[in-house]
Structure 1
Amino acid sequence: MQSSHSVDEIEVAYERHGDGQPMLLLHGGMAPKEYWHPVLPHLDDYAAVVPQRPGFGTCLDDPEETSAADVLAREVDYVRALADAVDGDPILFGHSFGALTAIEAASEVDVEAVVAYEPAILPDDFRREADLADRMADLVEVGRPGEAIKRYIEMVLHPDGLADLDAWLDDWPVWPQCVDLVEEVIRMNRAVEQYRLPDQLDVDAPVLVLSGTAGPDFLRESARSVHETLPRSRFVEFDGVSHSGPSETPERVVAAVDSFLAK
């Protein structure tokens, strides 16, 4: 069911699937809302809310000069408006940049719980050398947005490489639609490259932090660090699962979510 609301002058639009406890599904930087389609059949016990998010800071006049805090603040404002549009305190389920947004939002918004699959946070040593946003922007500037997205895929989704990336993309449900999100992905990466994980995350709600062994090592490291900075957290790692865990193995991921929320 399609719905739209205006909350505090913020327009929110979303699909709602099913009945039960509202679960807001916050996609990552490169995937459109269709990312969650493989997950939805496994969320029978929840009212799955899939927002039409406005993009990671797309309203900003000068995104290259925008701080991570500014970009995240706009995302958190959108999640707050979305939470106000549904009944009751929702569960936030975020993937990648959506997971970082969910954690940040949970420090300001009343939520039942948070599920965060590999939040887009860089370890300090990795962050100091990170330049993916610049490399992607250079490719866009010369008219190669598809190649820019491929660089993101190679670093984040398949850090160990693929024998045939183009063949893999042909079978990827969100390709080539995600190429249209390239500016948002660059903006998101700039925010991620500036973000520093605090010593303690001020989140009262229980948080389930998820990761996979087949994704980038730096995201696995950060997922554990996020778990350690939260006052109420559980960490679960899936063997052989990549950064695309929720859509790659939805049964396993949702089973872990169900177990966590049942406690």
Structure 2
Amino acid sequence: MVTTQSIEGPEIAYERHGDGQPLIFLHGGMAPRQYWNPILPHFEEYGAVIPQRPGFGTCLDNPAKTSADEVLGREVQYVRALADAVDGDPILFGHSYGALTAVEAAADAAVEAVLAYEPAVLPDSYRKEADLADRMATLIEDGERREAVKRYIEQVLHPDGIDDLDAWLAEWPVWPDCVKLAEEVVRMNRAVEQYQLPAVLDVQAPVLVMTGTGGPDFLRESARGVHETLPHSRLVEFDSVSHSGPSEAPERISAEAEAFLNV
């Protein structure tokens, strides 16, 4: 693990693999840094930079007191600081909440390109139903932390239902450690529920927006919305791939990303 200190921002801890052009991987909701392990071998020519999100094991002073309004701004700040710290203009590769952070950070950071898999943006048609943060918070207050995290998994990772969630969780590498992050996930979800996609995202770098037909319909709709707000964007939809696309189908995702970056 390498650590760098930005001049005005938080301390940033990250892993570095390889010596090529920096490719910064930004993980999403419940995922740890290890989320990217399946796709890393497909980008060996790059210098992979994998940070630990603030509040997810970093030296953030007091993540428990960080409000929902501050969450996205805090993460955009650390991504910009990290982009400035690496040599050359990096590429940002974000998944879910990490994809939203990547797109927002690219508005002011010097980056060569952005790869965004299903940015965590809610379409207006779905926003009225988006009460996940409140439902999770109520469960946490009642001492049901595991059940709170299960609601997130059911709504985001398995929106069509799953026959035996407990059996699936038993095989999930980050369970039950991710239960410790329950409050952080509530704040993250509140930030997503409050975020309004602007008419135009002022990102001059080219952006590859990716989505899969096997994930939540609202995220696929949101991917199209993000694509339409960007001045230099390409939208790719992967058949039968879920919200966990980068780890679920690394060959397909990386091949599309390489084709986009090598144009």
- Residue 105 in 1 paired to residue 111 in 2? no
- 1:202-217 matches, within 5 Å, as 202-217=202-217
Post-superposition offset of 1:172? 1.5
The one-letter code matched in structure 1 to 2:153 is I
Instruction: State whether residues 35 and 174 of structure 1, in contact with CA within 8 Å, keep that contact through their aligned partners in structure 2.
Output: no
Q: CA offsets, 1:139-169, max 9 Å, x none?
A: 1111111111110111111111111111111
- How far apart in 1 are the matches of 2:55 and 2:65? 14
SS in 2 for 1:129: coil
- Which residue of 1 is the match for residue 27 of structure 2? 27
- How far apart in 2 are the matches of 1:76 and 1:159? 28
- 1:96-175 matches, within 5 Å, as 96-175=96-175
Q: CA offsets, 1:50-102, max 9 Å, x none?
A: 002212898467545x42xx321111110011112210111000000000000
Gaps of 5+ in 1: none
- Which residue of 2 is the match for residue 3 of structure 1? 2
Instruction: State whether residues 29 and 184 of structure 1, in contact with CA within 8 Å, keep that contact through their aligned partners in structure 2.
Output: no
- Which residue of 2 is the match for residue 229 of structure 1? 229
- 1:27-106 matches, within 5 Å, as 27-55=27-55, 59=62, 62-63=65-66, 66-67=68-69, 70-106=70-106
- How far apart in 2 are the matches of 1:257 and 1:61? 36
- How far apart in 2 are the matches of 1:82 and 1:8? 11
- The alignment covers a number of residue pairs equal to 259
Instruction: State whether residues 211 and 220 of structure 1, in contact with CA within 8 Å, keep that contact through their aligned partners in structure 2.
Output: yes
SS in 1 for 2:128: helix
- Which residue of 2 is the match for residue 179 of structure 1? 179
- How far apart in 1 are the matches of 2:124 and 2:48? 35
Q: CA offsets, 1:175-232, max 9 Å, x none?
A: 2222121111100000000001011110000000000100000000000110011000
- How far apart in 2 are the matches of 1:29 and 1:207? 21
Post-superposition offset of 1:129? 2.6
- How far apart in 2 are the matches of 1:85 and 1:4? 10
Instruction: State whether residues 63 and 184 of structure 2, in contact with CA within 8 Å, keep that contact through their aligned partners in structure 1.
Output: no
- How far apart in 2 are the matches of 1:52 and 1:257? 23
Instruction: State whether residues 99 and 117 of structure 2, in contact with CA within 8 Å, keep that contact through their aligned partners in structure 1.
Output: yes
Post-superposition offset of 1:116? 0.5
- How far apart in 2 are the matches of 1:59 and 1:24? 25
The one-letter code matched in structure 1 to 2:41 is P
- How far apart in 1 are the matches of 2:220 and 2:121? 10
Instruction: State whether residues 55 and 63 of structure 2, in contact with CA within 8 Å, keep that contact through their aligned partners in structure 1.
Output: no
- How far apart in 2 are the matches of 1:92 and 1:229? 18
Post-superposition offset of 1:32? 1.3
The one-letter code matched in structure 2 to 1:135 is R
- How far apart in 1 are the matches of 2:50 and 2:143? 31
The one-letter code matched in structure 2 to 1:4 is T
Q: Percent identity?
A: 69
TM-score w.r.t. the length of structure 1 is 0.94
Larger displacement relative to structure 2 (106-115 or 141-150): 141-150
